Amino acid sequence: MDSTLAALLGAVIGGLLSVLASWLAQRVQSRSQLLVQEIQRRQLLYSGYVKSAACCYADALQANEPDPGPLSELYGDIGQMRLQSSEAVVEEASKIAHRILAAYRDRNRTRGEIRDFLDGGESDLFVAFGNACRAELAQLEPIQAVQMRPSAPRRKPVRDASSPP
């Protein structure tokens, strides 16, 4: 009787552990998928913002009156970032928008002046924004947590004195 009860109890415990392991694996997998989707969604938002900002900046260098269509798209992207991104990303995006508006107030440049301006490196609008975006996305990265764990030190293989180096 005791062995029957032990076998039954072992089967029940084994079954419960199997269900629990399955549930945990499914939970981890779905969480990872959600993080990957969130990262992709933010990457699309940030790349769209960069494209919009570049177009607006190019227009601002040549015109004094902003085109409301692209500028509204730019501010729409910033609004979306306010809903889902870190404060650092939103702050850098806002700085870019202010710099674009300031460029509209500046004098218009010729194509040669724009080329020289761009060659000078002063116009790189996206360095701080890109750094903020990368830092934010790195915090979301599901693989990052696995890679950051300290690994056990690896032993070097011991060579036989008779083998060549």
**pLDDT given for residue 36 in this prediction:** 86
Q: How many CB atoms lie within 10 A of CB 47?
A: 11
Contacts 24+ apart (CB under 8 A), 53-58: 53/93, 53/96, 53/97, 53/100, 53/125, 53/126, 54/125, 56/100, 57/99, 57/100, 57/103, 57/123, 57/125, 58/114
Q: Tell me the C-alpha distance between 100 and 85, whole Å.
A: 21
Region of 138 (left: φ > 0; alpha: ψ -120 to 50; beta: rest) is alpha
State the pLDDT at residue 82.
Answer: 95
Contact (Cβ atoms closer than 8 angstroms) between residue 92 and residue 128: yes
Of the given ranges (24-28, 34-38, 43-47), which has the lowest mean pLDDT?
Answer: 24-28
pLDDT at 48 over 70: yes
> What average pLDDT score do residues 34-55 get?
92
Task: Report yes or no: 100 and 53 within 8 Å, Cβ to Cβ.
Answer: yes
Q: For residues 34-62, give the mean pLDDT.
A: 92
Is residue 153 pLDDT above 60, yes or no? no
**Residue carrying structure tokens 């601002």:** 60
Would the pLDDT of 78 be above 70? yes
